[in-house]
Amino acid sequence: MNDNVVDLDFPLVQLSEKDRWTVRDAFEGTMVLGGTGSGKTSGSGHTFANAFLQAGFGGLVLTAKPDELAEWRNWASACGREDQLLVVHPAEPWYFDFMEYEARRDNGSDTQTMVSLFMLIIEIANEGSIQSQETYWLLALRQMLRNAIDMLKCAGELITVETLYRLIVSAPTSVSRLGSEDWQQDSYCFRCLNTATDQYEALTDLSDGTQKPMHFDDFDIAFLYWTNEFPNLAEKTRSIIVSMFTTTADAFLRGTLKRLFVTDHNKRPAPPELARQGAIIVMDLNIKEHEDVGRIAQGVYKLMFQKANERQVASDSTPGVFLYADECQFFLNSYDLAFQQTARSSRIASFYLSQTLSNFHVGLGERGEQKANALLGNLSTKIFHANPDTTTNEWSAKLIGEDWSLQSSSTSSFDQQDEARMSTNLSEQRRYIIEPIAFTQLQRGGQPYDYTVSALMHQVGRTWSTGNNYLEVFFQQSQSQ
């Protein structure tokens, strides 16, 4: 097994004779942009993935295409790391119950953290469309989740998607229902309210100074919510917030998502922390075949991976991990921005690949362009491959910048003796350092380009050995195709 390289100055990739890309650079994040067939995966993707593997990094790989698992198997075995691959797929012996994990970790998450997590999961499951909901519904949904989690805690129940679901769908929809025997007999919510009340009263009766667990501080409010506020909500409000929750929860209670995310004692848990120990976690749920389920499963695991690795206080000797997402537009969510701002201090190397800028805009949903700009600003290294997309190329050219250059223009005229005269004017003009069209002319690999892929690289604040703020780099393909 490779020792994980922890030295920030260690060169991961030799870009040219004098230019190196180090572990420090990796932790500042990378984005690769290039058209279809421009050599992103087989050129820069393979080169940098190989560097992470050689350096002993564990990581998380998200997949969009069916051949990506095989590709990573090859890449890992070429580095002697095949035995560290951990493949996540419903048929593999791994599961990850994210709510239970949250409830159990350290001292247990506080209610607010769990609510925020579930809101993000609802956002992922609904492809960001929840962000366009009115603030009122979102606040009402948060309030319902907060009270559900507190009530489950007070009743001594585990907090899982299933218990949350059962409590919410069996809650009273009118005050009169509360007294109905039929409802009381069947309702999981009623049982939780009863047990929690008993526990609360028993703790209150204790006069030996025993401290009540903190969640009982909110018992009164939660009790009032479920016995008064929730049943008195306007029918429309209640059905909207309940269905915002149930449409997501329901997806996790059946099929593939259930197999992956609900505790199964015949399988082993695969918490994202395993990556710090060197595991190369490959989500084998590619979007092409698994569509929405693949997107949700990978999005949720990615979110948990980000949060888990971010929570850990990193020191100089904390092993690095990578997060690799080809076709990353399928996996973006509003949390990526906050995450990328702290990824460096958490020693996480994000490596995203996509075709165009607009993929980022769409992938980030509501206010996508603003969010994309913020996110891209926090991915310090940019690698541009050949691209036919003019908007992306103009954006790339702008990023590299403009320069003043001398332009000469000549005019010819005839004087009164009919003799030709030439006059030359020199003027300074602003122009792109790299014109947008140059991004269409990069080498795309394969036999026509002698298996060489070229790209232009830019890194925030860096001047390369050439004296320029961009560097032309070349990647050799492995020629296996």
Q: Distance between CA 329 and CA 352 in Å, rounded?
A: 9
Q: How far is the CB of 85 from Mg ion (least distance, A)?
A: 20
Q: Distance between CA 54 and CA 476 in Å, rounded?
A: 17
Q: Which does 213 bind (CB under 5 to 8 A by kind): Mg ion, ligand ATP, none?
A: none
Site for ligand ATP in 244-263 (CB under 6 A): none
Residue 124, C-beta contacts closer than 8 angstroms, at least 6 positions apart? 295, 296, 299, 300, 303, 333
Locate 480 and state its tokens.
């296996």
Q: How far is the CB of 451 from ligand ATP (least distance, A)?
A: 5
Q: Do 458 and 384 contact (CB within 8 A), yes or no? A: yes
Instruction: Tell me which of 119, 444, 457, 473 binds ligand ATP, using CB under 6 A.
Output: 444
Q: Do 95 and 262 contact (CB within 8 A), yes or no? A: yes
- Residue range at the interface with ligand ATP (CB under 6 A); choices 30-38, 300-308, 393-401, 416-424: 30-38
Q: Which is nearer to Mg ion, 36 or 237 (CB)?
A: 36
Write the DSSP symbol of residue 212: P
Q: How many Cβ atoms sit within 10 Å of the Cβ of residue 91?
A: 8
Amino acid at 31: M
* Sign of the CA dihedral with 25 first, then 320, 115, and 163 last: positive
363: contact with ligand ATP by CB under 6 A: no
Q: How far is the CB of 324 from Mg ion (least distance, A)?
A: 12
Helix/strand/coil for 334: coil
Q: How many Cβ atoms sit within 10 Å of the Cβ of residue 324?
A: 25
317: contact with ligand ATP by CB under 6 A: no
443: contact with ligand ATP by CB under 6 A: no
41: contact with Mg ion by CB under 5 A: yes
Residue among 254, 220, 226, 218 at smallest CA distance from 242: 226
412: contact with ligand ATP by CB under 6 A: no
Q: How far is the CB of 397 from ligand ATP (least distance, A)?
A: 20
Q: Which does 34 bind (CB under 5 to 8 A by kind): ligand ATP, Mg ion, none?
A: ligand ATP
Q: Which helix (H) or strand (E) holds 351?
A: strand 348-354
Q: Which is nearer to ligand ATP, 32 or 260 (CB)?
A: 32
Apex 428 CA angle, 425 and 429, nearest 5: 115
Q: Which is nearer to ligand ATP, 123 or 389 (CB)?
A: 389
Burial of 424 (0-12, 13-18, 19+ CB in 10 A): exposed
Site for ligand ATP in 35-74 (CB under 6 A): 36-43
Q: How far is the CB of 40 from Mg ion (least distance, A)?
A: 5
Q: How far is the CB of 107 from Mg ion (least distance, A)?
A: 43
213: contact with ligand ATP by CB under 6 A: no
- Residue range at the interface with ligand ATP (CB under 6 A); choices 29-37, 139-147, 225-233, 433-441: 29-37
Q: How far is the CB of 69 from ligand ATP (least distance, A)?
A: 15
Site for Mg ion in 346-365 (CB under 5 A): none
Q: Which helix (H) or strand (E) holds 181?
A: helix 181-186
Instruction: Tell me which of 271, 377, 388, 446 binds ligand ATP, using CB under 6 A.
Output: 446
475: contact with ligand ATP by CB under 6 A: no
Q: Do 215 and 103 contact (CB within 8 A), yes or no? A: no
| H helices present in 286-334, as ranges | 287-311
Q: How far is the CB of 34 from ligand ATP (least distance, A)?
A: 5
Q: How far is CA 162 from CA 106, 148, 166, 256, 295, in A?
A: 22, 12, 6, 15, 21
324: contact with ligand ATP by CB under 6 A: no
450: contact with ligand ATP by CB under 6 A: no
φ, ψ (nearest 5 deg) of residue 404: -90, 135
Q: Which is nearer to ligand ATP, 363 or 445 (CB)?
A: 445
Q: Which is nearer to ligand ATP, 165 or 451 (CB)?
A: 451
Place of tokens 């050799």: 476
Q: How far is the CB of 328 from Mg ion (least distance, A)?
A: 11
Q: Which is nearer to ligand ATP, 75 or 245 (CB)?
A: 75
Q: Distance between CA 356 and CA 172 in Å, rounded?
A: 49
Question: Mask of contacts with Mg ion, 378-417, x by CB under 5 A?
Answer: ----------------------------------------
Q: Distance between CA 314 and CA 144 in Å, rounded?
A: 35
Which residues contact Mg ion (rule: CB under 5 A)? 40-41
Which residues contact ligand ATP (rule: CB under 6 A)? 34, 36-43, 355, 444-446, 451, 477-481
